[in-house]
Amino acid sequence: MLSKKKLLIVDDSDFSRQIISEFLTHSLFDLYLSSDIQDALHNILKFKIDIVLLDIVMPDKNGIELAKEIKNMSPDTQIVFMSSLAQDKMILQVIEAGGFDLLIKPFSQEKLIKTLERIQ
C-alpha cells in the first residue's frame, strides 16, 4: 500500500489555509498547516514534507526566499507557489527558486488538484 504524501500549506491568511485544506480534505494527502515561516521550516524538517503550497507574500519573509531555504534543507520537496499577483518577474522568480508551478488566487479546487496530480 502506498503511503500518503505529506502536504504543507503555508499561508499567513487563516481563510486561505482553511479553504485550501477543505479543498483537499478527501484527497490522498496528509495535510499540515503553517501560518508563518518558522513554523513552516519546523514542519518541513519534523514531518519530511513532500509538497509545499507556499504563499509568496508573507509578513516575515517572502515565499521565494523561503523556497530557497526549503530546497537547501529538503531538495526533493516540491513547491507550488500561490499568489494573488501574476507578474512576469514573479513567474521568473518562481522558476529560479525551483518552484513546480504558480497558482493565481483565487483558484478552483479542480485547478489545485490537477496541479498536485502532475507532481505525483
> Taking the domains of the chain in order of start, what are their residue ranges?
5-107
CATH for 5-107, options being 3.40.50.2300, 3.40.1390.20, 3.40.50.300, 3.40.50.970:
3.40.50.2300
The pLDDT of residue 2: 57
Interstrand relation of 101-104 and 5-10 (parallel, antiparallel or unpaired): unpaired
The pLDDT of residue 92: 83
Each of the 120 residues of the chain gets a pLDDT tens digit; together they read 457 899 999 999 999 999 999 999 888 899 999 999 999 999 999 999 999 999 998 888 889 999 999 999 999 999 999 998 777 777 888 888 889 999 999 999 999 999 999 996
Q: What is the pTM of this model?
A: 0.93
The pLDDT of residue 10: 97
Query: Which string of DSSP letters, residue by residue, matches 38-95?
Result: HHHHHHHHHHT-SEEEEES--SSS-HHHHHHHHHHH-TT-EEEEEES---HHHHHHHH
